[in-house]
Chain A
Amino acid sequence: MSHGFGAALPVEDGKPRLPGNLHTNRRLSSWLAIHPDGRVTITPGKVELGQGILTTLGQIAAEELDVDFSRVTARPAATPDSPNEAVTSGSLSTQDSGSALRHVCAAARHIFLGVVAQRVGVPLEAIRIEDGRFFGPAGEIGSYWALADQALLECEAPSEVTIKTPGQRRIAGTSVPRVDLPDKVFGAARYVHDLRLPGMLHARVVRPQARGAMLTELREGPLPGDAKVVRDGSFLAVLAATEWDAEAAATRLAARATWAAEDTLPEQALLTDWLRDAATRGERSTVAARADPAPPVARTLRRSFHRPYLAHGSIAPSCAVARWEDGSIEVFTHSQGPYNLRADLAKALRRPQDSIIVRHREGAGCYGHNGADDVALDAVLAARAVPGVPVRLLWSRAEELGWSPVSPAMLVDIEADLDAAGNLAGWRSHIVSNGHSSRPGRGAEPTLLSAPFLAVPFAVPPSINPPMAAGGGAPRNGVPLYRIPAMEVATTRLLEMPIRTSALRGLGATLNVWSIESLMDEAAGLAGVDPIEYRRRHLDDPRAIAVLDRVAAMAGWADRSRREGFGMGIGLARYKNSGAWAAVVAEVEARERILCRRLWIAGDVGEVVNPDGVANQYEGGALHGVSIALLEQVRFDRRSVTSDNWESYPILRFSEVPQVQVALIDRPEQPFLGAGEASMAPTIAAIAGAITDALGIRPRALPFIPDNLAQAEA
């Protein structure tokens, strides 16, 4: 069963509970193969997105099997053989795939040792393993490789296995170098963009002039390189033998196309008004409600916060390679969810799922639901026109920034009640946003970009929110971590979607953490208490307190001194209120605009499998947060997204990257939690606090650029 939210939601199927995604993919052989030549292959359904997950999963496997890490390779996920682990998202891969693989490898180890023990007549407990070789009291008695019999793994995982204790681990918990990095520094063909199949043609899409525009006329004429035109309704593409002919042909063809376009987007300058208006027609729900006895309210703070639409901004445009032959479709993709993509391709093409094979290949960095799935359909549509011929379809930069799903614009209204001592007595908030997921594979209609443009079109369903059990979408992190006796958190999901929205790193946390932390800072100021001390007063969670204390020590918070034009701020969150902890101190400098100069980050992901990898993820997420805080907003007119290049959608550059220090609190006895999204939202919150410290104003709208800061309140 695929719920498709990345998370292993509890499945009540009456079967013994197995860890992570092993519960729904129970056969050992679907995760692991041991070969006679001394190699081990792991076959997770999670995919490499640039986050280093295949290295982490390899470490976990090598550890439990007791083989050298270099023996383990990960096979890229593919339908129909890989375990269906839904979507690689939500910072869940280590916990859901890693815990499954740990269990699988511990089970395999036990099975292999059992066979040898019986064969040699040695008690199982008397056998030790050194890099895959088995030793009894009298010397070597076998190895995985000598025994390599995949039939031993053709069984369901047992519910009980003996996992190594933290003290026994030698590989998990160390900073093993990433397996993918050598290819990347030597320029090897590693990305889906680099696939070169025999006879492969190159394809480009000609996009409509506006959102929802329909192709009304297409003048005929010769094209460069005898390029072939592919048309299905208002989906328009070209195919040519070379990339340059495909691009020239696409440009030529665009000039010959006439589109019926209408104004369908709101006025950007009135975006918050549009959000409030659309909310009156939206779907309201309660996220959290609590009514414990509360002290009398002495004062209520009423504050509103807004963030714009945000783009993914991957460095490579999305790409896919597809082949359509005798009714069989094969597609190479950097999608986060091969099975989910297959489901929507089947719907969009009106073909059975088992006629489609989806194979993962790496793309450039993926920070959420970008154009990867969309371009896969585009490539298949182009390949359908040339049966048997592989087709590589690459988006342009303008398509990547202008037509990928974006993270929705949001606003939140908060009322925070303070008691006579200045502590939080009540909290009411209302979060307004489009849904944060239009991922494929979940609904009756395909959500792929080109589906509504086909001759027999599909409707565009408004995006949805993952359930709160999976972390929620718009209200993600919208429930304060802090002790507040009376609370009501509500959200309204908009049912109109002028710009297609979906999941981007952090989802609603980007707004929610910042808005909560801003009120904590303001309330601390009113109470005359240090912001970190004020947070500690409202915290019961010892791990939250531990990261706060660690980051305060790292940044020298207690002894900080005022410098003209500089400020420091703090941000704290536990991602999804159920994942990893992060506390961030930011230092900013206020010049003609705000620059972030230094970041200190303390994190807690439970058991750390690869410390350097986790530090890399925390730092990367934080720098993503700096970029969002200080620079990013999708721009649009009434018809289209206009911020479709790096000048109109600037991101953080080398000259403005702050210095970063990361410290992790290792808890080897605790379950592992994902690292990729924990630091971003607290970084944004810390920067906002630092701006207040430097300038005495409280930002109310992202990004924190001069125009928005001019609207900020003292």
Chain B
Amino acid sequence: MVQFMLNGEAVALAVPDDVPLLQALRGPAGLSGPRFGCGNELCGSCMVLVGGTPRYACTLAAGAVAGQQVVTVEGLGTPAAPHPLQSAFLAEQAGQCGYCLSGILVSAAALLARDKSPDEAAIRAALEPHLCRCGSHNRIIRAIQRAAEAIQSAMAEAIP
């Protein structure tokens, strides 16, 4: 049994400690967002946030996140209440097959959490662990820039 906070809710998953977190998330936790791509930390499809930091869920033991905050793409937002990144990816039509997007979105969320207005080089660097085979890279970069601007202007409006 592994207990941790998954997308803001406490979960207790009946998995051995040494099972990869990805399989715990896709298995007993019933999520689809974190995706299997290579199982070897080389493509980023499985990326999730652990304590706000992008981690490869394909190799990270489930037991290693006991008591921690885990956020997957499902935890960023929903169709009814999307994260600015999700809105921006839709606005830029940033994807084709979309299989890489779950991981890219959480890495982008971590980037925007520490850098409010990343330049293009910073975005590319943050996405270097991620492979996209369809060639949506430039749209993805533009979507992250768009989301950063949306967050900035929302904050500006919130300040009286």
Contact = CB atoms under 8 A, between A and B. Distances in A.
Given A187-B31, A622-B135, A655 B128 contact: yes
A655 B134 contact: no
Interface string A361-394: 0111111000000000000000000000000001
Given A193-B36, A654-B128, A365 B74 contact: no
Interface string B16-40: 1001100100110011111111111
Given A315-B99, A315-B133, A181 B93 contact: yes
A196 B27 CA distance: 10
Given A193-B36, A646-B42, A654-B124, A242 B135 contact: no
A617 B19 CA distance: 38
Contacts of A317: 36-37
A530 to B, nearest CB: 29
Nearest to B124: A654
B33 A365 contact: no
Contacts of B89: 181, 185
A514 B67 CA distance: 56
B52 interface: no
B43 interface: yes
A49 to B, nearest CB: 7
Given A51-B96, A185-B98, A654-B124, A244 B79 contact: no
Given A186-B73, A396-B39, A653 B138 contact: no
A209 interface: no
B159 interface: no
A120 B45 CA distance: 58
B73 to A, nearest CB: 4
Contacts of A619: 135, 138-139
Main secondary structure of the interface of A (DSSP, over half): loop
B72 interface: yes
Interface centre among A397, A647, A651 (most CB of B within 10 A): A397
B54 to A, nearest CB: 14
A244 B16 CA distance: 10
B100 interface: yes
Contacts of A657: 124, 137-138
Contact of A315 (B15, B37, B77, B82): B37
A256 to B, nearest CB: 21
Contacts of B37: 315-317, 397
A131 interface: no
B96 A50 contact: yes
A397 B38 contact: yes
Contact of A646 (B38, B79, B141): B38
A162 to B, nearest CB: 32
Contacts of B33: 186-188
A177 interface: yes
A98 interface: no
A621 B124 CA distance: 20
Interface string A561-579: 0000000000000000000
B72 A244 contact: no
Interface in B97-112: 97-102, 105
B124 A655 contact: yes
B146 interface: no
B43 A315 contact: yes
A620 B134 contact: yes
Given A315-B132, A616-B136, A620-B134, A645 B99 contact: no
B127 interface: yes
Contact of B135 (A175, A183, A613, A623): A623
Contacts of B96: 50-52, 365, 616-617, 620
A632 to B, nearest CB: 11
Contacts of B82: 185-186
B118 interface: no
Interface in A608-640: 612-613, 616-617, 619-624
B134 A646 contact: no
B78 interface: yes
Contact of B93 (A177, A314, A364, A654): A177
B95 interface: yes
A4 to B, nearest CB: 23
A396 B23 CA distance: 14
Contacts of A620: 96, 134-136
Main secondary structure of the interface of B (DSSP, over half): loop
A655 B125 contact: yes
Given A623-B135, A654-B127, A316 B98 contact: no
Contacts of B100: 315
Contacts of A184: 95, 97-99, 101-102
A194 interface: yes
Looking at B15, B16, B98, B132, the one whose CB has the most chain A CB atoms below 10 A away is B98
B79 A182 contact: yes
B94 to A, nearest CB: 8
A468 interface: no
B60 interface: no
Contacts of A185: 73, 82, 86, 89-90, 95, 98, 101, 105
B2 interface: no
A623 B137 contact: yes
Contacts of A394: 36
Given A397-B39, A616-B139, A655-B124, A189 B95 contact: no
A607 interface: no
A178 interface: yes
Given A191-B99, A316-B45, A616-B93, A244 B36 contact: no
Nearest to A189: B32
A621 B36 CA distance: 24
A646 B129 CA distance: 11
B133 A314 contact: yes
B131 interface: yes
A180 interface: yes
Contact of A365 (B42, B102, B105, B133): B133
A473 interface: no
A660 interface: yes
Contacts of B93: 175, 177-178, 181, 612-613, 616
B23 A315 contact: no
Nearest to A242: B27
B14 to A, nearest CB: 10
A150 interface: no
B128 A653 contact: yes
Contacts of A396: 39
B136 A651 contact: no
B32 A188 contact: yes
A530 B72 CA distance: 53
Contacts of A328: none
Nearest to B93: A612
Contacts of B139: 616, 619
Contacts of B55: none
A198 to B, nearest CB: 13
A657 B142 CA distance: 13
Contacts of B136: 616, 620
Given A654-B130, A660-B138, A316 B35 contact: yes
Nearest to B88: A185
A185 B37 CA distance: 17
Contacts of B135: 619-624
Given A186-B77, A620-B134, A646-B38, A181 B90 contact: yes
Given A194-B32, A653-B131, A654-B127, 17 more contacts: A178-B93, A184-B98, A186-B78, A187-B33, A191-B35, A314-B97, A315-B99, A316-B99, A317-B37, A364-B133, A367-B133, A397-B39, A612-B93, A620-B96, A645-B38, A646-B131, A657-B137
12 contacts: A51-B96, A177-B90, A184-B102, A185-B73, A185-B90, A186-B86, A193-B36, A196-B30, A314-B99, A315-B99, A367-B133, A612-B93
